[in-house]
Structure 1
Amino acid sequence: MHTGHKAVLNDETEWVRLENHHTAIIDRALFEKANEMHPKKRRIVAESRTNFTLERRKKQPALLICANCGHSLLKETEHLLKCSDARTNGDPVCRSLVIRREPMEENILGLVHQYAASMLEKEKKVSSNRQCDDKEINTAELQKQSRQLTSEKMKLYDDYKDGRIDRDSYKQRAG
């Protein structure tokens, strides 16, 4: 409302109706006929300002949102942004809210750079951890192979010692 107050819809039970209070300009039959021809408009009232804003946001997604009321920010001039609801909303904060575009864009760009840097750092840590895991797996695998070779050499030596293989076969296999 232009008075700065928000409109409040009262329940129909609280309405005060005065039938035939004024002298009719047109007769009742013509009035009823005109009402039948005119489609009725339904007035949908949101449960709260937040729900209304969320529904509106779903219909018209905006990149920049007013921190006070949740409506989109629009370009007022080349360098200024203003709340889209500032002209109709009775909230003095939205009406007085003016945002300079350049510093805001710089802040957003800085946040994007910070986010990208943190994602790169996270990827480096994940990659580093993966390399450490791979090295641990390789070390464990090499230790296992070393134990197997040692065991095979011991069996080969036992075969040589017990005379099951000759000296040349032992040197060739152990070599």
Structure 2
Amino acid sequence: MSGTSKAMAERVKLRVNGAETAVEADPASPLLGVLRETLGLTGSRFGCGAGLCGACFVLIDGHAVPSCDTPLWAAAGKEVTTVEGLGTPEHPHPLQQAFIDEQAMQCGYCVSGILMSAAALLRRNADPSEAEVREVLDRNLCRCGAHNRMVRAVLKAAREMGAA
């Protein structure tokens, strides 16, 4: 017998984008891998693997968290929302539409995480200031230099969501 132990797969119940599901996986597995590889939800991206860049952010019970270093067990029984759960191509979420309108993306790699950070902000503050938006998005790295357009898009979505 070797000195390494095999991870034990367990049935873990999740609620992802409003739907109940169960997966067979090691509860210590990163949530990002389960979302992408098991559930086919590839909108969340792998960036740094250490929870520092924001590319993998999802919402857990309305809070933006890095799914790359969040163990699966931490999401069990909670509401997980990925970028796929925000809106649809036919009916985009106001944030998604504002990002399109403001051309607030270039390569797009970071955008799903940024949308999730912005969605969490707008859930707790429907009328954020520009400074508050910048502070929240500071956790998300974007190398394309589109942050000013992203801030404008979040503020636009906030206005439109407040008018609805």
TM-score (norm 2): 0.25
Greater RCO, 1 or 2 (C-alpha within 8 Å, sep 6+): 2
TM-score (norm 1): 0.23
More helix by share: 1
More strand by share: 2
